Each structure stands twice: as C-alpha cells, then as structure tokens.
Amino acid sequence: MALVVALGYACLDYRFWVDRFPPMHARTPVSVFREALGGSAAVAAVAVARLLGRAVFLGRCGDDDAGRRVASALDAEGVDTRGLRVLAGARTPVSGVLIGPGGERHIFPYPGGGFSDDAGWLPLEVLEGAQAVMIDARWPEGALRLAEAARRRRLPVVLDLDRETSDAWGLAERATHVIADRELAEVSGGVDAVLGRLADLHAWGAVTLGEEGAAHRGGRVPAFAVSARDTTGAGDVFHGAFALGLGEGMDEASALTFASAAAAQRCALAEVPRREEVVRLLGSGG
C-alpha cells in the first residue's frame, strides 16, 4: 500500500441539509444533520485510507471538545495521527455547512485561534517510506518545511491551491503538482492563466471545474455524471486520491481520472468513498 503524508487543515463540520436555499423565512427546517471531519488535508488523509492507501496526517488542533472529536475521527479511519499536535488553549476550527436540494454546499467557517506558526516540531521521519505528500496552504510554515523535506527525497508534492495569496503561490514553487479550484482561477485571470503561471514555476498543474471536469495543459478530464447529495469535501477527496494515485505509480492523466471518480462518489454518497465504490464508477465509464 502506498503511503501518503498529508499536512494542513483539520476542522469539525456541522452539516445541515435544507430543502430550500437561500432561506425564505426566519426559520428554515433541517431535514438531516451530521457531524463530520472537515479540512482539506484531514479529509484527503481519510480519502487515502479509505482508498486502501496508508495515510499520515500532520497538523494542529486545540485541546477542546472539537479537537478531541477531530482526533477521534482521524483515528477511527485508521489515519496515523502521530503528527497531530494538540495545543493547550487553542480553539479548533469548526464550520457550519448548509447543503441545498442539489447537493451544493455553503460553508461558514470559524478559523479557530491560538495556534503558533512554529513548524520545528514536525516529525519529518514520517517521510521515510512515503510515496507522496499532499499539502494545503492553511499553515504555510508547516507546508513549506514538509515540502522542502519531501523534495529532497524526490517525492511528489501535491498542493491544494485554493487561495490567491503570496504564501500559497510560494508553496506552488515548492510543489511538484498543483491542483487549483475554479474559484481560485476566477480571481487569478482564468484557467489558462493559472495553468500558464504554474508551468512557469515548473509545476505540473490542473484546475478542478466541478461538473465540467478538470483542466490541465494536456487537455481536460471529464467529470463523472452522478446525482449529487453533498459536494462538501469533494475537492479534498480529489487531492487525496490524486496523491495516492501518484504514490501508486499512476501517470498524471490516470491519477486525475481516479481522483475525478473518487470526488464524484463523494458527492453521490455524501461521504468519503471506499476503493470498491470508486472502481465500480470507473468501470461504468461514468
């Protein structure tokens, strides 16, 4: 099994399914409620584990109830949490997520607080035996330290690029593979502009476009047609599956197709899919 090390954001989601959005009245009934793990790197790590890889998560949480729930959720999925640092007095991020009738989500994140930027404590020995690394830009200092250590070991480093900041683009310079999202492309000059900028940085690049698939400099991978129940975390699953694909020796096009199927099943099943569910969708041709 390929080992993927994921570093970055972990939070606790409170998800509410509503039959109407936006609300029309002061009170809007909720048909389903679920508490779930959120955060780019944390969900990517869970995706790796459910897709039959091995996952190590590096990140931070508070010593509060939300932090304990985050740690418990990762442990329950078989994710190695030796690199999850619990900080006394810190407040773990939480998000309220409203999911409309078509599965589209609206996220209201609370970023938490009390976290130090220090990354000197990171247990870089977890890279021994790893086949790939996945990072997000929520903790730039940690992501930079891990990416540089991974590059020295000639490991693929996959970056989730979802914000137009100097820190995020600085991480793109250290990554080998960068996958941006539609919202980032919309504020950065468009898909072609983002792909061109990534090429200038000597990073392989792609942009996820929801139902329109994923664009890269070699063309476009179509999305798999599913009936979406919840799109929350689809991009996170995409990144985790893509990193795992690279770790298993897939080329970029094959890893993109694998990731696209995994993200589609996340939307259809309203949970992170397992390997057999992704294989079934791949076999159906979408």
Give the mean pLDDT of the chain. 96
pLDDT band for position 26 (50/70/90)?
Answer: confident
pLDDT at 125 over 90: yes
* CATH code of residue 170: 3.40.1190.20
**Distances from the Cα of 64 to the Cα of 60, 91, 275, angstroms:** 12, 7, 33
Average pLDDT rounded to a whole number, residues 224-249: 96
| Residues paired with 226 in a beta bridge | none
Q: Which two tokens stand for residue 264?
A: 């589609």
Q: What percentage of residues in the chain have a pLDDT greater than 70?
A: 100
Domain count, the chain: 1
pLDDT the model gives residue 286: 62
- In this structure, are residues 140 and 167 in contact, taking their beta carbons and an 8 Å threshold? yes
Q: Are strands 219-221 and 177-181 parallel, antiparallel or unpaired?
A: unpaired
Backbone angles phi, psi at 270, to 5 degrees: 65, 25
Under a CB-based contact definition with an 8 Å cutoff, are residues 195 and 67 in contact? Answer: no
The model carries a pTM of: 0.96
The DSSP output letter for 113 is B
66 — pLDDT class (breaks 50, 70, 90) = very high
Query: pLDDT (tens digit, 9 = 90+) per residue, 212-229?
Result: 999 999 999 999 999 999
Can you name the residues that pair with 135 across neighbouring β-strands? 7, 159
> Which amino acid appears at position 200 of this protein?
D
pLDDT at 285 over 80: no
d(CA 207, CA 116): 31
Mean pLDDT score, 172-200 = 97
State the residue range of the domain holding 263.
Answer: 3-24+31-284
